[in-house]
Structure 1
Amino acid sequence: MMEWKDNSEHLLTENVERLLPFANTPVSSLVDDKGKPLLVFPLSFQECEDCIGKQHLFDIAPKGKSYVVKTGNLAGFIGLNDMYITIRSRFGTENGDDYFLHYMLKKVLSVNLFNLKHTATDEQVFDFLLHLFPYFLNKALVQGLYKEYQRNEYNDCNLRGTIDISRHIRCNMPFNGRVAYRTREFSYDNHVTQLIRHTVEYIRTKRLGEMVLHTNVDTQENVSQIVSATSTYQRQDRLQVIKSNLRPVVHPYYTQYVPLQKLCLKILSHERLRYGQDKDEIYGILFDVSWLWEEYLNTLLTPLGFKHPDNRQNAGGVWLGYSLIENKKRNAFLRYPDFYDKERSIILDAKYKSQIDYVADVNQVITYLYRMKGRIGMFVQPTPDENEPKSYSLRGYGEDGDARLIEYPFQIPASVSSFEDFERKIRLSETALKEQIEILHP
């Protein structure tokens, strides 16, 4: 059993050879849709251009007569045969409690029961998949109930499609007043909604099922919508429904159904996350903590009026320039600020890493300030220390001092006695951030 922290270096004196096959390797090569028993959230559930697949699980480099392992923004559990590795957030307590990671999972995904103190057994990971279902279901249903064209056959007196002559002769001769015909019409009862319905019914049979499906009012209402839309549901059709969903949803509007579809397939297939019979197979579940940090800040900032562009879904981006082709403007250089509020004239950048890059990060935020005529550029970083914000006046932007760049330290409680104590103290940090933003309002 080894315990590491994210974005940290750890001395490695044993088991180096067993870890080398998975070191210095992009996560995307360890995760795929062909049954590899390693889940990385959110990479395993959605496709994006700027995803976490390029970063490494961990890196190993020689140092003198031993080795050093360096971790990145991933935290969770991985196992290799009988060897277990726990990667906690760097804000975990000395006794192994990772309240910060727990809290972000609760705020972002409404996951509150996944015990991060144990190893990643099959049952634990499967329970976590069940708890993810409401999150993805509710995000998908925001885009409306999925509908698509269906080919249906009828034989009645209400002709409203193309007559099926051969079937009409076979069924209605001598003439009995009915007409056999085919239609192509929109239907909410289709292979995608059927997959979701089968997942709902499967979850109902599990230990945590009813609790998962009654997480909140939105989940209950969305489950009811799915049940109402799938009147042709039959338990014995499950295998055929799974097969019909092996190809992901391709639709320019229903984009949030892709991760939901993937999750439903994983739940119904009950993919085993640990294969003891396979030698040197890595398994477990990991979280992109930088993604969680950004989405956690989103729960605080969106109610204040901030916009949150999503580079993973290509939504809400800002064009930095354009080119002229045949006297027509063509947009160029699409970028995605983490958060911005035009009324407050603030560009806010979520930075989970411990150190800001004073070249790349600063250049990026200043670019957004100039493009969007912002007055305040703000980095928000988690830190265990109680520090004051650092403020820099920017030259060359109107008059000196007209615009500022701020490093804001968001304090993560360190000395806590329980998760409830952690929640109480981090709410003070949340209030302090909101107050700081209001102070900056012109």
Structure 2
Amino acid sequence: MKYELKDNQPVASNIASKGLIKEISDQNLAALTNQGVLSFPAALKSSPDLSASDSYLITHYKGQLWTTNIVGFLSIRTSQLEIGLRVDSSQNQFFLRYMIYRALHLNLSSELGLNIGKMTGTKILAMFIPALLNKAMQAGIYKEYENKQFNDYQLHGAIDVKRQLKVNVPFVGKFATNGHQFTRDTELLELIRHALEAIKADVNLRNLLNRDQTIRKNVALIVANTPNYQLKNRQKVIAQSKKIQLRNNYFLNYLPLIRICRAFLEGTELQQGSKSILNGILIDAAWLFEEYIGAVIEENFVHSHNKIGQDKQYLFKDRVDKGLIYPDYLKKGEIQVPVDAKYKFPEGIASHDRLQMMAYMLRFQSNRGVLIHLSGTDVAVSDTVQIEGQYVDDESRPQVTEYGIGVSQAGQWEQFLMDMHKQEKQLCQFLSGFTTY
């Protein structure tokens, strides 16, 4: 049985009573992760904005069951649940896939030959592999000890008496020993290599591995350290990968990569292991939207990346509690106009969102601030909220502009891509006119 829902929507009573929905209701992401679910951005980086203990996939609110900002898919036994973006039309989920690629890769263009509109099933998992590989490789190439037999002029470990008598009599100076040595060509790296080769072989995916210098370098390192790779061994490597255990916590960032690579190669649902109850991928749509907007406007704005504590700012001077703040984006240069992304429709922008922006404007001495949200249609909308009070003129009066980006409802990927490029160009042109007074 498959259930299809949208984010931030009430769950119909006839669905809320079903087994799968009842089992995951009011379970936080920490609990779901322990049962085998992979969540983003947690798999990429720590995320104070998405607390695993405080975030829920489906929860009760005012006596009714609701979905939240978390989207994705998961399964349990024979039941499957898919939660899509409420802004996406029908079943195509173009905007979800598009934001994933922009958030993880930042350089989608029609010239890349990467048609993510045609990606279905586990091919979507391939989109995560470059980012997870880069994250894992921050710890360096994975290596482990392997048992090995030696027969040379050095003592590498304990002498194998039986083998010594068999191969080194009469004695010519060689020793038959059993020892341990580090190796990089492990089952783990072989699994990653096979996933990378499978991506290279797919005309719709191969450009995932060419997007920047970092991923190209890491792919080259994996290739260089897996000299025993053979395509004919793929099924054997996949089977052996299910027994992989990381005994060194230093390499824990390889775990999400292993799971994604295995699921991609198998072409099945994401699984953690034979004891898993749940499996799947969940994505914080609010995080995804923020990263997407950051990719669109990165040329002229600095993205603070609050989820990793980068570019943090403070409100107060000479205080123990300095009032830590993270405006999503600040305009580059001396004129620092704060911009925030809100995964909301116009009617969802609340007073606290505007008050937060006012604090940013005060901190950066700007009379202008921008909230970027979803328009709720395929057409962009904008509205300006002026601040009450006595000012010299309207130009000096602080104001918060709320800009809703449109999302194409096209049924064909090529048209959707053209529409979104127009929307993004329109947004960048709109922001380019902002200055502070």
TM-score (norm 1): 0.69
Structure 2 CA distance for aligned equivalents of residues 25 and 398 of structure 1 = 54
Q: 1:430 aligns with which of 405, 411, 424?
A: 424
Q: Which residue is equivalent to 1:368?
A: 360
Q: Which residue is equivalent to 1:338?
A: 328
Task: Give the unaligned 5+ runs of structure 2.
Answer: 106-113, 146-155, 160-172, 174-181
Classify 1:375/1:247 alpha carbon distance in 2 versus 1 (closer, same or farther; 3 Å).
farther
Q: How far 1:9 sits from its partner (Å)? A: 2.1
Give the letter for the 2:422 counterpart.
L
Q: Residue 9 of structure 1 aligns to a residue in which SS?
A: coil
Q: Residue 302 of structure 2 aligns to a residue in which SS?
A: coil
Is 1:273 matched with 2:266?
A: no
The structure with the largest helix share of the pair is 2
Q: What aligned pairs does 1:3-22 form with structure 2 within 5 A after superposition? A: 3-14=4-15, 16=17, 18=19, 19-22=21-24
Classify 1:134/1:12 alpha carbon distance in 2 versus 1 (closer, same or farther; 3 Å).
same
State whether residues 342 and 371 of structure 2, in contact with CA within 8 Å, keep that contact through their aligned partners in structure 1.
yes
Q: Which residue is equivalent to 1:129?
A: 125
Structure 1 CA distance for aligned equivalents of residues 296 and 330 of structure 2 = 13
Structure 2 CA distance for aligned equivalents of residues 198 and 86 of structure 1 = 28
State whether residues 31 and 44 of structure 1, in contact with CA within 8 Å, keep that contact through their aligned partners in structure 2.
no
- Write out per-residue CA displacement over residues 340-365 of structure 1, whole angstroms, 9 at most, x where no aligned residue: 12534211110012311212x22222
Classify 1:308/1:388 alpha carbon distance in 2 versus 1 (closer, same or farther; 3 Å).
closer
Classify 1:371/1:296 alpha carbon distance in 2 versus 1 (closer, same or farther; 3 Å).
same
Q: Which residue is equivalent to 1:184?
A: none
State whether residues 26 and 58 of structure 2, in contact with CA within 8 Å, keep that contact through their aligned partners in structure 1.
yes
Q: How far 1:79 sits from its partner (Å)? A: 3.3
Q: Which residue is equivalent to 2:192?
A: 199
Q: Which residue is equivalent to 1:353?
A: 344
Classify 1:91/1:321 alpha carbon distance in 2 versus 1 (closer, same or farther; 3 Å).
same
Structure 1 CA distance for aligned equivalents of residues 65 and 190 of structure 2 = 44
- Write out per-residue CA displacement over residues 107-161 of structure 1, whole angstroms, 9 at most, x where no aligned residue: 2335854867xxxxxxx765443332123334666x696699x9xxxxxxxxxxx
State whether residues 114 and 127 of structure 1, in contact with CA within 8 Å, keep that contact through their aligned partners in structure 2.
no
Structure 2 CA distance for aligned equivalents of residues 372 and 262 of structure 1 = 43
Classify 1:137/1:230 alpha carbon distance in 2 versus 1 (closer, same or farther; 3 Å).
same
Q: Residue 49 of structure 2 aligns to a residue in which SS?
A: coil
- Write out per-residue CA displacement over residues 163-216 of structure 1, whole angstroms, 9 at most, x where no aligned residue: x9xx9xxxxxxxx9xxxxxxxxxx9x869x995565124543689578756534
Q: Which residue is equivalent to 1:410?
A: 405
Q: 1:227 aligns with which of 223, 226, 250?
A: 223
Q: 1:23 aligns with which of 5, 22, 25?
A: 25
State whether residues 196 and 264 of structure 1, in contact with CA within 8 Å, keep that contact through their aligned partners in structure 2.
no
Q: What aligned pairs does 1:149-188 form with structure 2 within 5 A after superposition? A: none
Structure 2 CA distance for aligned equivalents of residues 92 and 346 of structure 1 = 30
Give the letter for the 2:8 counterpart.
N
Give the letter for the 2:246 counterpart.
L
State whether residues 190 and 237 of structure 2, in contact with CA within 8 Å, keep that contact through their aligned partners in structure 1.
no
Is 1:294 matched with 2:290?
A: yes
Q: How far 1:61 sits from its partner (Å)? A: 5.9
Q: How far 1:413 sits from its partner (Å)? A: 2.3
Give the letter for the 2:59 counterpart.
D
Q: How far 1:14 sits from its partner (Å)? A: 4.7
Classify 1:140/1:85 alpha carbon distance in 2 versus 1 (closer, same or farther; 3 Å).
closer
State whether residues 397 and 403 of structure 1, in contact with CA within 8 Å, keep that contact through their aligned partners in structure 2.
no
Q: Which residue is equivalent to 1:380?
A: 372
Classify 1:394/1:273 alpha carbon distance in 2 versus 1 (closer, same or farther; 3 Å).
same
Give the letter for the 1:437 counterpart.
L
Structure 1 CA distance for aligned equivalents of residues 425 and 201 of structure 2 = 34
State whether residues 43 and 52 of structure 1, in contact with CA within 8 Å, keep that contact through their aligned partners in structure 2.
no
Q: How far 1:430 sits from its partner (Å)? A: 0.9
- Write out per-residue CA displacement over residues 387-423 of structure 1, whole angstroms, 9 at most, x where no aligned residue: 3332424658997634321111111123x24122122
Classify 1:425/1:83 alpha carbon distance in 2 versus 1 (closer, same or farther; 3 Å).
same
Q: Which residue is equivalent to 1:182?
A: none
Structure 1 CA distance for aligned equivalents of residues 80 and 244 of structure 2 = 37
Structure 2 CA distance for aligned equivalents of residues 278 and 196 of structure 1 = 24
Q: Residue 299 of structure 2 aligns to a residue in which SS?
A: helix
State whether residues 125 and 273 of structure 1, in contact with CA within 8 Å, keep that contact through their aligned partners in structure 2.
no
Of 68-77 and 375-384, more deviation after overlay is shown by 68-77
Of 257-266 and 348-357, more deviation after overlay is shown by 257-266
